[in-house]
Structure 1
Amino acid sequence: MLFVSPFLLLLAVRRRLLPWTFAVLLALSFLLTLAQARWGYFFALLFLLTLPAQLILVRQRWLGAAAALAGMVLPLLFYWDNAFWPDDETAERQAAERIALAQWRAVASSLGEGEPGPILAPWWLSPATAYWSGQPVVAGSSHESLPGIVASARFFLSTSPEEATEILRQHRVKWIVSDEAGRVATNAAAILGTTVPGNALCLRFEGGGAQAPAFLSFIGKQGSCVLYRVADLPGK
């Protein structure tokens, strides 16, 4: 259906079965989708609205019905095939992600049972951390947490104890949970629109207490998840 649609659309416009302005919008949304995938929703909606005009051009009713059915069912079948029978590389990646998420949940849940206090974590894991721990998280799960997301990114990329302690003090942070150092650094740099400093704080977390600042107490590590407790902050 997708291969013959361009010809059917041109023919539909020529026979005035479809307004030319609608065809222009469809073409524009297609070009925008090629540039940014988020426009794909609008392209798909506009394309579905053109299906009646395209099917009118197919004289045999059974052929038109078959084309419509294939256009609706085939994408769903491809999705199911990829979801339930992924290739080896995808299956291994999904298994690793499930293990990492289970490890993160175990650490976050333990914080809810222990000494309560605000948590600082990478932004993409903060909503789950807040849910599992029951504690406030600096980079929360709503649009109002945008300043907290920026603050957590600044903390992970901080290069001086003064900057890091100021962020911890401002948000009254009790616990710090970090993920794989390279991933945290890359995401934080993308948020701040900068490069990763060679001595960024998050790069020192994976080494445990030996490399961490004195105001952070190393609690433990489970997989890529590293847990620190905020000790006495200097100048407090």
Structure 2
Amino acid sequence: GQTECSGVATINTIERNKISTIGFTIPGAETRLSAEGEIQLRGGHVFKGYWNNPAKTAETLTEDGWLRTGDVGKVDNEGFYTITGRIKDIIITAGGKNITPAEIESALKFSPYVSDAVVIGDKRKYLTCLIMIDQENVENFAQERRIPFSDFASLCAAPEVVALIGEEVAKVNKQFARVEQVKDFRLINILLTAEDDELTPTMKLKRSFVEEKHKGLIDSMYRSEAA
């Protein structure tokens, strides 16, 4: 858990638990969701502030003592909390809708053909996505159908592969409200490794780095928006 929380604030017990949640609030602790959907904590387990750093303390604690965890989440009618993303990653569309991209990205990564995904859309009219395909599974798909390709880039460029990923995106879109649906996507056609700056040590795409490096790809998905 978070050091500033001095331990746990929610728990799943043997008697009362739900898979994929972080549990319910423990006795003596308080948990709430802010207007932005951030999970916030309060109680004797929450620290009083940073030593000789009032500015940092003010950033981390609300005026009435709630700890800003930085995690975005939701709570069900039984009091079980689920973390859906990080507050710093929240997308605010041009229409003012707050969207947690991690939920959409996680759904996309359930596809055997998608290795990773980065949803784009901050200050935009609609969402788009950069997708890194699963090399092994997509290669098998192409070989079984005798789709010609010579390298990773040509595999990503194959119309049949683009159509395949489009079908996967369409399946995921059915799980979300219209404003949360991905309207367009592009495939990252460079085979990345752990040594690449675009990936974390756990082989996840770095959102800010990817958005900067692939700005051209992103802009190509919003040309109609600018027109």
TM-score (norm 2): 0.28
Please state which structure has a larger fraction of its residues in helix. 1
Query: Which has the higher Rg, Structure 1 or Structure 2?
Result: 1
What TM-score do the two structures reach when normalised by structure 1?
0.27
